[in-house]
Structure formats: structure tokens, C-alpha cells
Amino acid sequence: MIIDKIIDFISQCPFLDEMAPIKADYCNEDAISYCVETSAKAKEIETYVDGSQVLQLSFAFSSKEVMSDYDDVNVENAVFYEKFSDWVEEQNNMRNLPKLEGKLSSISVKTVSHGYVVQSEADRGRYQIQMVLKYLKKV
């Protein structure tokens, strides 16, 4: 499945907390936790004469983080997402992409938003960054 390969790819990021696994479509209530949330369907970008297709899958990488009324904690969360975005761009430029299987192969992976707060509570917040995986599906 594609989501497993996206999770494998993101797990390589050196800025993640090693003790917090990345879940599919579920973020724990505990800070720190991570998840990848996929969209309903991959969008077709192009179809070749042989029937092969270039598809684009939108997804979000989310995390539950500690928040505080002290700016340094919240700034640290924002810096994490800046570093994460830079890491994704670097991996894309080096062609270190999610390793898809079978007739699927990755073309690119990118962040398409900054990391931002989706939900906040007294001492925790849920952050996310929007991403896109473009891939080839051969016939």
C-alpha cells in the first residue's frame, strides 16, 4: 500500500521523536505522536498512450505536540515543521523518495503548506503540514 511507503519514508526524518511511531489516519491524544492522513483518492494528472498514468496523492503529516503559554515551546514546534519541510525538499532533490512497489514508482514528494496548528488544547496542540506524492502507475 502507498500509505505504508509514505510512513516508511517519513520515518527516516532525523527530526522525529524516535519513541513516537507514525500511525495511519490516527493521531494519539498523547504528545508527542505522529500520523499520516490520506485523501479520498489519487488525482489523475496525465495518461500516456500505453495507459500508464501519472497520479497525485494529497496527504497531511500531523503531530500532537506540547504547547505552552511560553513562546519558546511553540516556536520550537514551528521550527520542527520548518526543518521537516527542508528535509522533505532535500530528499526530493536527492531522489530519495518513497519506495513504492509493483507497477508504482515515485516521481516526487513535496510539502505544499507550512506547518500550522489545526487544534489546540490547554497544553497540547495538533499541527499538520500538507504534502503531495506524485507517482507513476504503469500498465
Q: Write the pLDDT tens digit of every residue in 61-111.
A: 999 988 877 677 788 889 999 999 999 999 999 999 999 999 999 999 999
46 burial via Cβ count (<10 Å: 0-12, 13-18, 19+): exposed
- Distance, in Å, from the CA atom of 82 to the CA atom of 113, rounded to the nearest integer, reads 10
Question: In angstroms, what CA-CA distances link 91 with 62, 72, 109, 111?
Answer: 19, 28, 8, 11
pTM of the model: 0.92
* Residue pair 85/115 in contact by the 8 Å Cβ criterion: yes
Task: Give the percent of the chain with pLDDT over 70.
Answer: 99
